[in-house]
Structure 1
Amino acid sequence: MASLSTTHVVIGGGIVGAATAFALTARGERVLLLEQHGRGHDRGSSHGASRIFRQGYADAEYVDLTTQALDLWETLERRSGTTLIDRTGAVDHGRPDAVDAIAAALTDAGVPHETLSPDDAAARWPGIAFEGHVLAHATAGRIRSAAALEVFLTLAERTGLADLRFGTRVTGIEDHGDDATVSFISDDVDVETVRTASVVAAVGSWAPTLVGALLAGRGAGLPAVRVTQEQPAHFPSHLPDAAWPSFVHWGEGDGVYGLLTPGEGVKVGFHGTGPVVDPDHRDFAPVPAEAERLQAYVTRYVPGVDATKPTFISCLYDTTPDEDFVIDRRGPLTVATGFSGHGFKFAPLLGELVADLALGGTPLPRFALAR
C-alpha cells in the first residue's frame, strides 16, 4: 500500500469537481483529483456538448446566483481564450403564474427581458409552438459544456498544482477528526492512501453511498437525494441553427426544456421524470412509454424538428426534495451534490463556493446540510 500527501483531495471529475480543482489551484492550493471513470466520461451528469444557461428563475436568490455565474463564465472565457456560452437567448412559455413570477424576479434583479404574445413568439422562433404567456431574455444561451469541462481541467493542470487521475476509484474515506484518509485504486497500481485535512466529495449521484455514513457519524445527514436516469433526446431540425433559442415550457404537467446541440439536433427533455436507479448499475435504455410521451410532446410543441427520429441520451439527475443544492462541510469533508438538473449553469460559481468551504469558509445557508 502506497501513501501520498497532498493538500486537497477532490473526488469526482465532473463539472463541479473540475471547477473546484480549478478554483483551488487558482488560489495556489495543491489538488489531487480522483475520478473513477475516464476524462469527460458519459456515466454521470456532466457529459454532452450543450447545456442551457438561463437567468429565468422565479426565486431572487437564484437569479442573483446566475448573475454571479455569468460574470465568472465571462472571466473564464477571457482567461482560456475559449468561447463557452453562445448567446442564443432563452424563452419561457406556458402557465401565466410560472412565467409571470419569472418576469417579476428578472425585473427586480434588473435583468433585461421582454414579454410577447404566442403569435409574436412563433413568428420570431417558428420551430416552437408557444402557449400561455411568453418571456424572453437575451443574457441566456447555450453552454458549450464539454468544452467547459475540459477548460476547467486544463487550466488546473497548467498551474502545476493539480494531479488529475482518471480511472481511479475511491474505496474508502476514514474520518480521523481533524483530517481524513482517502483510499483509492486504479487499474495499474495497488491501493494507495492519502491523508489530508480537506476532502471534497463532488460526486453528485454517488454522494449518498460514498459519504452518507461519514456525515451521519458527525450528526449530519444528506437530504433524500433522488437519483434518476433521465432520457432527453436529440431531434433533427430543418431550420438553421440561429433559429433556436434555449427554451422552457411550463405546462400543466411536467416541465420541458430544450436547446440546440450543433451537429446533433435539438435536445428536448422532461425535467426530472426518469426512473430511480443505482448510478453504478444502469441500463442506459429509454423507458418506452416515456419515449413515446416525449415524441408526442415534440410533435405538438416543437414543429421545427422531426419528432419521428429521436436519438435518446441517458444522464443522471441527483435531486433534493426542494431542488436546492447541497454544498456544505463537516470536519475534513466538503460535500457537493443535489444539483437537481439545473446546476451546470452555475459551474464556475459552484467551484468557488466549494473551494471557499475547503479553505475554511462558511456555507450559503440555503445550501447547508442543516437547512
Structure 2
Amino acid sequence: MHDIDRRESATYAVIGAGLSGASVAWRLAASGADVIVLERDVPASALGSSHGSARIFRYGYLDPFYAGLVMRAKSSWDELEAASGRRLITPSGSLDFGAVRDPRGLADVLETVGVEHELLSGADAATRWPGLRFDTEVLWHPGAGVIDAEESVNAMLDLARAAGAEVRTGWEAASVRHGFTGYQVTSTTGRTVHAEQVIVAAGGWLPALLGELDLPPGFADALPEFEVRQENAFHYPYCDPSDRGELAPGAQTSWPTFIYKGEDIQAYGLPGGRDAGFDGQKVAEYNGGRVIRSARDQDGAIDPENRTRVTGFVEEFAPGLEPEPYAETTCLFTNVPRDDMIIDRAAGVTILSPCSGQGAKFAPLLGELVHDLVAGAGRTTERFRAVGQRFAGALR
C-alpha cells in the first residue's frame, strides 16, 4: 500500500469531533486501533452541541438505570482527568425542585443506587440557598458539578492523538457508501477516506446526513425520529459581587446547579464559567427553542418570547440574580421520542446519538460503550437500540 493510501484509510472513521466523537476516538485509539476523526468545522465547534464551559453533571434521574449509568460515567471522568491532568468537572452540587421534577421520587432513586443526597423542605432550602426560591420539596445532591465541555473534548482528542489517532478539521462528511473492503466516506469537497467501520457522532448534523448513510433498510427504518432544537441560553448576573469571578484552582462554585420542572415551565441553571466571564448563572428553558430540521438550519437568532419566559422564571425563583441577561446565546439540542441515547450498529456503521440532554455527563463513558460494541466485546444495551419511534404529529 502506498503512503497516500495509508493516510486515506483507517480501521475506524469517526464522524464528528464533539464530546461523543472525541470519546470514541480516545477509547479506540487507546486500544491500539487505527482511527481517523473527520470534523466538519473544529473540535467542540460553536455550531455543534459540545462548545463552551458549562454543562451539568448530575445524578438526578427518576430512572435507576440512568442514575446507575452516571455512577459508571463518574469513574470514566476520574480516569480522564487523571490521564489528561486537567480538572474537567468543577464541584457545585445540584438542586432539583418543582412538582413535575418530583424531588421525593428522585431521592428514592438515589437512595437505591447509593448516591449521597438530602431531601429538604422548601423553607429549609431557601435558608441554605437564599438566592433561590422553592415551591416544593428540594433534592440536594453534593456530587453534582459543572462540566467544561470544550476542555473535555480537547483532553480526549489530545489523548487520542497521543495514541496515534488523526483528527482532520474542515472535513465535512457528505456520504458513507459500502464497498468490498469496508466503507468510503466522501466529503462535501470530494475527498475520500476508506474505513473498515464508521462511527457517526454528528450530533445535530445527523438528520441531514442520515439519507446519505449506506444503512441496511431494516436498520434505517428502525431509527427514531430525531428532533433538533435551536435552544436559547441566557446569563444573568449575580446580585452579590462576591459570587462573581473566576474560581481558584480546586474551588467549588459559589452557586449550585439546579433543575426546575413545574406545570408552566421547565428550566435549569448553572454557573456560566468562562462562557460569559464568570459573572453569572446560565439559565435556560428545557426544550424551549424552536424546532429545526438539522443543525444546518440554525441561524443563531434569540427568540424574544423565550427570553421573556426565562426572565420571568428568574424573577420568580432566583432573587439572587439580576433579572436582565448580560449575555445570551443559542445552542443545539437533539431529542428522540423516548429520551434514550441511541448507540446501535448495523454492519459496519454505528450511530451514536446521546440524545435528549444525555450526552455531556456520559461523555467519557460513551467511548467505552462504543468500543465494546464495534470491537466485538459487547452488544448494544437494549435501551440504546435504534427502535423506531416518532413524535406525535408533524415536525414542529
TM class by shorter chain equals: over 0.9
**Where in structure 2 are the equivalents of 1:349-360 lying within 5 Å?**
349-360=365-376
1:73 and 2:77 are equivalent in the alignment: yes
**Where in structure 2 are the equivalents of 1:143-222 lying within 5 Å?**
143-159=147-163, 161-176=164-179, 179-184=182-187, 191-212=190-211, 214=213, 217-220=216-219, 221-222=222-223
State the Cα distance separating 1:243 from its structure 2 match: 3.2
Residue by residue, what CA displacement relative to the aligned partner does 1:188-220 show, whole Å, maximum 9, x if unpaired? xxx322222210000112222213464654311
Whole-angstrom distance in 2 between the partners of 1:146 and 1:171: 25
State the Cα distance separating 1:346 from its structure 2 match: 0.4
State the Cα distance separating 1:238 from its structure 2 match: 2.6
Change over 3 Å in CA distance of 1:312–1:96 after alignment to 2: closer
Which among 103, 110, 131 is matched to residue 106 of structure 1?
A: 110
Residue by residue, what CA displacement relative to the aligned partner does 1:199-255 show, whole Å, maximum 9, x if unpaired? 000011222221346465431132011011000111111331543011111211332
Matched-pair contact (CA < 8 Å) for 1:199–1:358 = no
Partner of 1:325: 341
Change over 3 Å in CA distance of 1:323–1:177 after alignment to 2: farther
> Which amino acid letter does the alignment assign opposite residue 380 of structure 2?
P
State the Cα distance separating 1:143 from its structure 2 match: 1.1
Whole-angstrom distance in 2 between the partners of 1:245 and 1:219: 45
Partner of 2:312: 296
State the Cα distance separating 1:309 from its structure 2 match: 2.8
Matched-pair contact (CA < 8 Å) for 2:38–2:172 = yes
Matched-pair contact (CA < 8 Å) for 2:198–2:349 = yes
Matched-pair contact (CA < 8 Å) for 1:177–1:331 = no
State the Cα distance separating 1:350 from its structure 2 match: 0.9
Partner of 2:122: 118
Matched-pair contact (CA < 8 Å) for 1:212–1:222 = no
**Where in structure 2 are the equivalents of 1:271-350 lying within 5 Å?**
271-277=286-292, 278-350=294-366
Name the % identity.
37
1:9 and 2:13 are equivalent in the alignment: yes
Matched-pair contact (CA < 8 Å) for 1:96–1:133 = no
How many residues in Structure 1 have an aligned counterpart in Structure 2? Answer: 365
Change over 3 Å in CA distance of 1:216–1:332 after alignment to 2: closer
Residue by residue, what CA displacement relative to the aligned partner does 1:9-52 show, whole Å, maximum 9, x if unpaired? 00001110011100111111111000001233100111111111
Unaligned runs of 5+ in 1: none
Which among 22, 25, 32 is matched to residue 29 of structure 2?
A: 25
Partner of 1:83: 87
> Which amino acid letter does the alignment assign opposite residue 384 of structure 2?
F
Whole-angstrom distance in 1 between the partners of 2:15 and 2:107: 38
SS in 2 for 1:314: strand
**Where in structure 2 are the equivalents of 1:242-281 lying within 5 Å?**
242-262=253-273, 263-277=278-292, 278-281=294-297
Partner of 2:97: 93
Partner of 1:237: 238
Q: Could you say what the CA RMSD is over the residues aligned between the two structures, in angstroms?
A: 1.8
SS in 2 for 1:280: helix
Whole-angstrom distance in 1 between the partners of 2:239 and 2:310: 19
Whole-angstrom distance in 1 between the partners of 2:182 and 2:264: 47
Which among 137, 141, 144 is matched to residue 140 of structure 1?
A: 144
Residue by residue, what CA displacement relative to the aligned partner does 1:82-111 show, whole Å, maximum 9, x if unpaired? 111111111101117721111111011111
SS in 2 for 1:44: coil
Change over 3 Å in CA distance of 1:319–1:330 after alignment to 2: same
Whole-angstrom distance in 1 between the partners of 2:180 and 2:208: 20
Whole-angstrom distance in 1 between the partners of 2:281 and 2:100: 25
Whole-angstrom distance in 2 between the partners of 1:366 and 1:139: 25
> Which amino acid letter does the alignment assign opposite residue 218 of structure 1?
P
SS in 1 for 2:295: coil
> Which amino acid letter does the alignment assign opposite residue 313 of structure 2?
Y
Q: Normalising to structure 1: TM-score of the pair?
A: 0.94
Unaligned runs of 5+ in 2: 245-252, 389-396
> Which amino acid letter does the alignment assign opposite residue 248 of structure 1?
I
State the Cα distance separating 1:365 from its structure 2 match: 0.7
Matched-pair contact (CA < 8 Å) for 1:218–1:330 = no
Residue by residue, what CA displacement relative to the aligned partner does 1:170-189 show, whole Å, maximum 9, x if unpaired? 12110237721111256xxx
Partner of 2:42: 38
Change over 3 Å in CA distance of 1:338–1:152 after alignment to 2: closer
State the Cα distance separating 1:269 from its structure 2 match: 0.7
Residue by residue, what CA displacement relative to the aligned partner does 1:324-355 show, whole Å, maximum 9, x if unpaired? 11110001101111511232100011111122
Whole-angstrom distance in 2 between the partners of 1:145 and 1:20: 15
Whole-angstrom distance in 2 between the partners of 1:214 and 1:195: 14
Matched-pair contact (CA < 8 Å) for 1:215–1:330 = no
Tell which deviates more after alignment, 325-334 or 88-97. 88-97
Matched-pair contact (CA < 8 Å) for 1:319–1:339 = yes
Whole-angstrom distance in 2 between the partners of 1:193 and 1:63: 41
Whole-angstrom distance in 2 between the partners of 1:120 and 1:204: 40
Partner of 1:368: 385
